[in-house]
Amino acid sequence: MLSIGNLADRTGLSVSAIRYYESEGLIQVGRNAGGQRRFYRADIRRLSFIMIAQKFGFSIAEIASLLSDLPGGRTPTPADWKKISTNMQTRLDAQIASLQKMRDNLDGCIGCGCLSLPRCALWNAADAAAKTGKGPRYLLGDAPSGHSD
């Protein structure tokens, strides 16, 4: 078992961040006879996973869902991580596709409905983007039918 200070040293997280993840139910805490927090060594891996998932844009709720099948208090097996990674891949593939679309279309119409560029009148004829909602509809993946990138 590790103290919160040791866990902070091993993960690079602040003590307050570890307490936050504890309060969100992402890690479980035990207490020693003196009432001090004690964490499992497996929490080093859980916290490292949380930091990585956040970098990829996963919310705390999404991370909690991904980790919900992992048993607390034991080191996850390769099969445990395989299940989590399979669940993450679908989301990451969609993010990659969205980022590639954005990269490839940054110099064109973003579908915001502004019609201020001469090219927008061609891409967004009759302000078709406005029919799908507010904001940059094309790069968010909500292009009206008939729009081609």
Q: Is 31 exposed, middle or buried (0-12, 13-18, 19+ CB in 10 A)?
A: exposed
Q: Is 39 exposed, middle or buried (0-12, 13-18, 19+ CB in 10 A)?
A: buried
Mean pLDDT of all residues in 16-37? 92
Contacts of 122 (CB under 8 A, 6+ apart): 109
**Domain limits, CATH 1.10.1660.10, in the chain:** 4-103
Task: Return the DSSP state at 127.
Answer: G
The answer to whether 109 touches 138, Cβ cutoff 8 Å, is yes
**Average pLDDT of the chain?**
83
Q: What pTM was estimated for this model as a whole?
A: 0.68
Answer yes or no: CATH 1.10.1660.10 is held by domain 4-103.
yes
Mean pLDDT of all residues in 84-108? 85
The answer to whether 82 touches 50, Cβ cutoff 8 Å, is no
